[in-house]
Amino acid sequence: MKPLSNHWADICAANIVREKPQQDLYVVASGITPSGRVHFGNFREVITVDLVARALLKLGKKVRFIYSWDNFDTLRKVPKGVPHPESFSGYLKQAIARIPDPWEQESSYAAGRIKLFEAELKHVGIAPEYRYQEHLYARGTYAQGIRAALENKDAIVRILNQHRKEPLASEWLPTTVYCSQCHRDQVVEQKYLGEWQYSYVCSCGHKETFDIRESQNIKLLWRVDWPMRWAHEAVDFEPGGKDHSSQGGSFDTGKEIAQQVWGVQAPIYLQYDFVGIKGQGGKMSSSSGDNITLGEILNVVEPQVVRWIFAQHRPNHDFNISFDEDIIKVYEEFDRAEKLAYDVPEKPTGKWLGLRRAYELSQVDNAVLSTQSPVRAGFRVLCNYLQICDGDIERVYNRFYQNTIVSEQDRHAFLRRAKCAWFWLENCAPAEFCYRLHPQPVQLEVAPVYQKVLQELVRIVREVDLESASVEEVNTLIYDRVIRGTGAEPKEAFRTIYQKLIGRDRGPRLPAWIKEIEKDRLLTLLGG
């Protein structure tokens, strides 16, 4: 199977089909434990699977994309940010799907984290088949898988011990049990009694023997659970992070366990590296309350641009998302890539095909590209216009874009980008990048020569059609009449003008900037 392009997702999809050519349906999988806010780093696994799924669909294959919520996992520590953490600590060692929501908005703690992330994924065009592990375990879906793991415990121990400094204890079992009395994962003794029978003694004193098929409280440990699900779901492709990909890590042991216990091959695997947030050191942890979510990223970065960022980076390359002025470069790079994607060369090169494919994969709705490139508002200029218009997006559109952005689709894209730009200005942009025009004129105590500077600038604004004049013409007028004509010191002259307009010593480049400010408002603020 030849890849459709040299894009990594197409290469991966072609490899999957090549290794498993006889299948009618390909299963691709992802999953996470919602132990805290599901952060942007977690999103890399999901988008990686989505991009490969789309590449398989492009090859004409049927695809099942499953996303497993590991909501039957144990709460090991109190996440940051929960209300009343002292009382919440009383739920430690319980299943996160069975802990009340501390915000009292959803049916459980896990459900709140799940609902938020699922809603965020919709915004970027990702709609997998969700599978909730607490529900599946509780209704006995994996009972046969649990029994197989228990019956093959010795083989599992041999595999795991190859990668451990200390061998597992002789009484170790590949399972964990939540006590039906205290609901915690704190058993002090557990035994597999053969066939479907299992018993345990909890530290709370409760003892119980139960049938695995009927219990709602038993599950496999992670290193065994993962390969069991590969077999149960017939998974063909699933990526993993660095923490799962090291020698002797959970993927290494998982593929051996899958083969020896369930007689299946591990899925085709792709390692992905972590995504960082510039200014936050270290790996982001989903149990931390101070990490960045996909929803918070979407406040600043358009959904299509988010998809494009991941589509253009190979999964095994790490990168950072920044909320400082670098975000302007991201938008500029996307706009350039978009134009190149529509500029079809006579003889497309491999580089162009890869660029075009990354752009195609960035489409939120996975639609076929139109024949004409969208009309975009440049992010940097848009930020300036928004500040000139006090954040009034409709005013910005009517004043600067209504003659160039005319289609409903492009107008919708403009409004979305403008909202992102304004959010960035209000919440993330460096202070030196931001300004606000004074709502009313302010009085300045300045030397007579700088009063003349302001008066001469007022005359220019009155006499010259600044909107139609070029930046070079306005620049010449300012230097000839406002600076040289008054004999003012240039730096102090500009400082006076900026103080009069925005209350700061510096600001945007004056010739281009005053062309964009409405004439009446400019005259009012200058005192004219």
How many Cβ atoms are within 10 Å of 332's Cβ, its own excluded? 13
pLDDT tens per residue across span 270-300: 999 988 887 443 343 444 445 789 999 999 9
Q: CA separation (Å) from 479 to 336, 447, 482, 490, 502?
A: 35, 19, 6, 9, 21
pLDDT tens per residue across span 57-84: 999 999 999 999 999 999 999 988 899 9
Chain-centre distance for alpha carbon 194: 46
Please return the burial class of 344, using the count of CB atoms within 10 Å of its CB with bins 0-12, 13-18 and 19+.
Answer: exposed
**What is the length of the chain?**
528
Q: What rounded mean pLDDT belongs to the chain? A: 94
Q: Are 517 and 455 in a shared domain?
A: yes
pLDDT tens per residue across span 483-514: 999 999 999 999 999 999 999 999 999 999 99
242 part of a folded domain: no
Q: How many domains does the chain have?
A: 2
385 part of a folded domain: yes
Contact 528, 458 (CB under 8 A): yes
507 part of a folded domain: yes
Q: Are 384 and 424 in a shared domain?
A: yes
pLDDT of residue 384: 96
pLDDT tens per residue across span 473-483: 999 999 999 99
Q: Are 396 and 453 in a shared domain?
A: no
403 part of a folded domain: yes
212 part of a folded domain: no
pLDDT tens per residue across span 418-444: 999 999 999 999 999 999 999 999 999
pTM equals: 0.92
99 part of a folded domain: no
| Full residue range of the structural domain in which residue 408 is found | 379-433
413 part of a folded domain: yes
